[in-house]
Amino acid sequence: MKDETGIGLRYCGGCNPRYDRVAAAKKLMGFFPDLTFCPAEPGVPYAAVLVICGCPSRCAGVQDLSVPSRALVRLSGWEELLPAKQALERLLEERTVKKVLTLTHEEVLEILPHRPPMLFIDEVSSLSPGEEITASYHVPPDLPAFEGHFPGEPVLPGVYAVEAGAQAADLLLLSLERHQGKIPLFMGIRRANFRKKILPGDRLTIHASLKEERAELGFALCRAQILVGQEVCADMELSLALRASSSP
């Protein structure tokens, strides 16, 4: 796993560059001599990813990256050099002061209302409440769903992968003081892509980040990714509602 204080680099294809992308990127990196810059890999968390495009169309693909959209810093020309520098400085400063938590399995159970066999979070290795989360889940070979999906060639159902992403998003939101004690409700799937089978015994890494929130309406839109090793198995955007518990 890469150091999360590093900065990932993602270049566009360079089909029609209108400026020297490499020179601009090197100039920007020169402002941060103590940071590590490296090619952005799928499934690896970074403090930020510098997306370098040769023109304003910004066609560089970023869907496989495990960073929240606010941590994507765009550079599409020399005129964006200083704004990109300021954006990186802001992200790094926020990272040094923000609260990062871990959660044991017992602490996960205290927050989520889910229980086996429909609990898909074992523990949380990194949680910035209301911003991003990294959790894990070991897929048990005896999960009841494998008896019918599919006999002789078991594969984790896609809806289970979506539920795992939703539960990570639930933890992300329920860890905020204003949402503590509420019930998370699944409102919808804005998009979901499945790229690789999830098999019995796989250990999943689950990333989720907040894209949009309407706190006054109890609504949130989150992005989630499910990985096995460094391979992205599923990528999705989920809408959630947070409602007050009816329990006394």
| Residues belonging to the active site | 149
Q: How far is CA 170 from CA 50, 114, 174, 208, 218, in A?
A: 28, 11, 6, 9, 12
Write out the E strands in 86-218. Answer: 101-103, 123-128, 132-138, 183-194, 203-214
Cα 126 to Cα 198: distance, rounded to the nearest angstrom: 23
CA separation for the pair 123, 197 (Å, rounded): 22
* Number of other CB atoms surrounding residue 193 within 10 Å: 13
Tokens of 44: 């690896």
Q: Bridge-partner residues for 126, per DSSP?
A: 134
